[in-house]
Amino acid sequence: MVDSEGMDKRFDELEVGDVMSAGVISCEPDTPLRTVARLMVRYDIHAVYVLDPDDAKLWGLVSDLDLVAGASAGVDGRTAGESAITPLVIVAADDALDHAAELMSGYGVGHLAVVDPATRVPVGVVSTLDVARAIAADRPRETRLLGLRR
């Protein structure tokens, strides 16, 4: 994990796995949006995976921004499936973090699904906040070598 005090890699050296949130909180497509909001609050997260109930495969993702958009359209009666981002933009844990940032910017999304490349099973999520933390912690190589702080 990257922190502002002990970072040992520059931003352009980081991989998604260095900053992602590991683990998955999920729901089925027919889950009420209000229940998705409760999951976000309960687990202090900003995105919930939507998994296909028949085969448990990754189907979509509801972010906090999707939840807000759903609320503005009337949350009652809306489901995770109606609000989820599909198809998902995915990365692997060993992908470069700057590549993940490019994908977020290019697709206009704040969260990327981190999947196991072999199984395509979700293993975590990387968000714009994770990227921001990495940028904030980055120090030029020269200051790291000298032990200086910015």
Tens-place pLDDT, residues 87-97: 789 999 999 99
Question: How confident is the prediction for the chain on average, in pLDDT?
Answer: 85
Q: What is the mean pLDDT of residues 9-22?
A: 92
| CATH assignment of the domain containing 83 | 3.10.580.10
Q: What is the mean pLDDT of residues 32-42?
A: 95
Residues in the chain: 150
Pairing between β-strand 47-51 and β-strand 21-22 as defined by DSSP bridges: unpaired
Q: What is the mean pLDDT of residues 70-94?
A: 87
pLDDT of residue 87: 79
Residue 148 lies in a domain: no
Residue 127 lies in a domain: yes
Q: What is the mean pLDDT of residues 107-117?
A: 92
Number of compact structural domains in the chain:
1
Of 32-41, 83-92, 113-122, 132-141, the range with the lowest mean pLDDT is 132-141
Which is it for the CA torsion 112, 105, 2, 47, positive or negative? negative
Q: What is the mean pLDDT of residues 65-83?
A: 86
Q: Is the pLDDT of residue 118 over 70?
A: yes
pLDDT of residue 125: 94
Residue 147 lies in a domain: no
Q: What is the mean pLDDT of residues 41-50?
A: 94
Query: Phi and psi (nearest 5°) for 48?
Result: -125, 130
Residue 55 lies in a domain: yes
pLDDT of residue 9: 80
| pLDDT band of 76, cuts 50, 70, 90 | confident
Whether omega before 87 lies within 30 degrees of 0, making that bond cis, reads yes
Residue 33 lies in a domain: yes
Residue 3 lies in a domain: no
Residue 54 lies in a domain: yes
Q: Report the distance separating Cα 48 and Cα 63, nearest Å.
A: 6
Residue 19 lies in a domain: yes
Q: Is the pLDDT of residue 113 over 50?
A: yes
83 lies in which domain range?
11-142
**Phi/psi zone of residue 14: left (φ > 0), alpha (ψ -120 to 50 degrees), beta?**
beta
